[in-house]
Amino acid sequence: MEQSTILNNIKEKLGIVQLNAMQTTIAKRSDLSGDLIIYSPTGSGKTLAYSFNLLSRINASCIGQLQAIVVAPSRELVMQIYDVMRVLATGCKVTCLYGGHSVVDEKRSIEALPDIVVATPGRLLDHVKRGHVSLNGVKVVVIDEFDKCLELGFEGEMRQLCRCMPPCAQHILTSATVLDEIPAYTGISHPKIFDFTHDSNAPSSRMKTYQVKSASKDKLDTLLQLLQSLPNGRTIVFVNYREAVARVYQHLKSRNMSVGLYHGALDQIEREKAIALFANGTFQILVTTDLGARGLDIDGVKHIVHYHMPISPEVFVHRNGRTARVDARGSVFVVTGPGEEPPGYMHLDGVYTPMELNPPTTKREEVFPTIATIYFKAGKKEKISKGDILGFLIHQGGLSATDIGTINVFDHYSLAAVPRNTIENLISKLSHCKIKSKKVLVSRAVQRV
């Protein structure tokens, strides 16, 4: 694919007028044929950067043959990369494979002969072993967030996958942290290394970090005060354990806070809903384990709260990477209990005392989001598209196009953001209507936890 086509797609379809310095540097070197390693902070736009190299190697005469693989450590990151690739790869077929997704549906998508596959290591290896997919024609292999792939215990799967790759394939590794060594099984030889970890415009330069002191070992009340005093905006609260996610979530929910939760024990649909409802503004606060520290690429996250101390400097970096993405600014808050001090690797800009420094004129708990979400029990596999949902809400629901927010269409269900004050009337009205001559269950989207 020509670089001019890729740039035009970035501008016209993603709305990005200008690449950042890291992306520009990588794009200019898309002619490099050897192995590449890209070190760049979380949130700096590595997917767009390596897309130039990957797409420039797609041979138009080989369309209908698997030519490129992107491996990423989480379902959420896979889906986000897939969304970007699908937009940029004009004329190419892109599919994604990940755990929690129907193997039967994935097998059908592979049989449709994709040119690019985006996958988690375990699920891709599973399809290879089943004989569903051959990697023999692959020209370029991207391992995104390679450090996280190793950290999450994917080394065995990665080792087996690398053995299946053609020796002539180009390898591209990305990481937010510099690796001490590259495992030999990757087959990477004399790579060209691009290190942007000390870029003066890195996300860390656009965020302020504060300590928030709690007088009590149980920091829930301090957390509540902090969240109430912050200006409205998307906020992610990080904790270290799934059980703690539920406890913090229930405490905030009982105080009428606009909150959702996210962790690995949720089933795939509930994880998808959590991200969608947070991203579309249905709730403003997301409580999560470190699963949310990678792969969540959500615009407009203003605040990061470390309710529990991160287990390492790397985790601290990746948690913070959910805010101040690209050119935005953000704030980071580290909540400490009695006798607890932030580690030396945290460079603090001060101490934040919620009710004193920023006394709220209107508490967050008194401000309800203006957005709610409608759930439709039909999706891609039922031949439902975003256009179908949009038209349905306009013609049958009586909304204007400007009333309707983000529409997400998943395999077997869809979500649409609408004004909160219209949702009850909408559901009542739409329950008796059909989409494309089909009766579809319509209800209010909520997290089931």
Instruction: State the residue for tokens 């097998």.
Output: 107
- pTM > 0.85: no
Evaluate whether 49 touches 16 at the Cβ level (below 8 Å). no
What is the rounded CA–CA span in Å between residue 313 and residue 145? 16
Give the pLDDT of residue 373: 98
Domain 371-444 has CATH 3.40.50.20: no
**Would you state the pLDDT for residue 199?**
67
Yes or no: domain 3-195 corresponds to CATH 3.40.50.300: yes
Q: Would strands 301-306 and 259-262 be described as parallel, antiparallel, or unpaired? A: unpaired
Cα–Cα nearest to 295, from 272, 261, 312, 277: 272
R_g of the chain computed on alpha carbons: 23
Sign of CA dihedral 239, 291, 258, 234: positive
Domain boundaries, the chain: 3-195, 203-366, 371-444
pLDDT for the residue 359: 42
Q: Which is nearest to 143 in space by CA: 175, 114, 166?
A: 175
Q: Do 3-195 and 203-366 have matching folds? A: yes
How do the residues of the chain divide into helix, strand and coil, expressed in percent and rounded to 5? 40, 20, 45
Tens-digit pLDDT profile for residues 36-91 = 999 988 778 899 999 999 999 888 788 888 999 999 988 888 998 999 999 999 88
Closest among 135, 160, 177, 101 to 380, alpha carbons compared: 101
3-class secondary structure, 358? coil
Q: What is the pLDDT of residue 17?
A: 83
Quickly count helices (H) and strands (E) in the chain.
15, 20
User: Which of these, 8, 39, 7, 41, lies nearest to 24 by C-alpha position?
Assistant: 7
Place of tokens 């130039």: 52
pLDDT for the residue numbered 30: 79
> 133-143, pLDDT tens digit by residue?
999 999 999 99
Residues in contact with 81: Cβ distance below 8 Å, sequence separation at least 6, in sequence order: 47, 70, 72, 96, 118, 144
Query: How far, CA to CA in Å, does 269 sit from each of 128, 274, 277, 419, 448?
Result: 25, 9, 12, 23, 10
Q: Which long-range contacts (CB under 8 A, 24 or more apart) does 423-431 make?
A: 423/372, 423/374, 426/374, 426/393, 426/397, 426/399, 427/374, 429/396, 429/397, 429/398, 430/374, 430/392, 430/393, 430/396, 430/397
Residues 6 or more apart whose CB falls under 8 angstroms from that of 102 comprise 411
What CATH class has 203-366? alpha beta
| Alpha-carbon gap, residue 364 to 163, rounded angstroms | 53
- Of 281, 298, 291, nearest to 232 by C-alpha is 281
How many CB atoms within 10 Å of residue 179? 13
Contact in structure between 147 and 127 (CB atoms under 8 Å) = no
Instruction: Please name the residue that has the structure tokens 């024609």.
Output: 137
Q: Helix, strand, or coil here: 414?
A: strand
- C-alpha to C-alpha distance for 369 and 277, rounded to whole angstroms: 11
pLDDT along the chain (449 residues), means of 10: 88 86 88 87 86 89 89 90 92 92 92 95 95 93 87 84 89 88 86 83 74 94 94 92 96 94 92 94 95 81 95 88 78 95 91 64 57 96 95 95 95 96 94 91 91
CA-based nearest residue to 222, from 234, 211, 214, 230: 214
